Amino acid sequence: MSHARNTAAMRASPRCGARTRAGGSCRAPAAYGKARCRMHGGAAGSGAPWGNRNAIKHGLSTRDAIDERTRTQALLRQARQLLLEFK
């Protein structure tokens, strides 16, 4: 195959290690000195922040919030049973 441009260096460069949704590998070249391409975290400032700050939005799924809802539901269930007994 003959190209007007010299693409040998790009074709020989290491590939990104990210996986696609289809299960294959990303075919983009990895950023210089990195294991990922510019779209998968190789670019400066890209990727998720440290400390899992993306997951903290409202706290509805924390263990404390789930326990509090469970206790509240149990208390409401007891109150309904108590009201039915006095009818």
| pLDDT value of position 41 | 80
Instruction: Count CB neighbours of 85 within 10 A.
Output: 7
| pLDDT value of position 33 | 85
Give the dihedral of Cα atoms 56, 58, 63, 68; nearest 10 deg. Answer: 170
Grouped pLDDT means (10 residues each) for the chain, 87 residues = 72 87 89 86 72 72 92 97 90
pTM tops 0.95, yes or no? no
Query: What gap in Å lies between CA 30 and CA 39, rounded to an integer?
Result: 9
| pLDDT value of position 6 | 80
Q: Give, in order, the Cα–Cα distances in Å from 51 to each of 37, 56, 57, 64.
A: 22, 10, 13, 20
Among 27, 31, 29, smallest CA distance to 19 is for 27
| pLDDT value of position 2 | 62
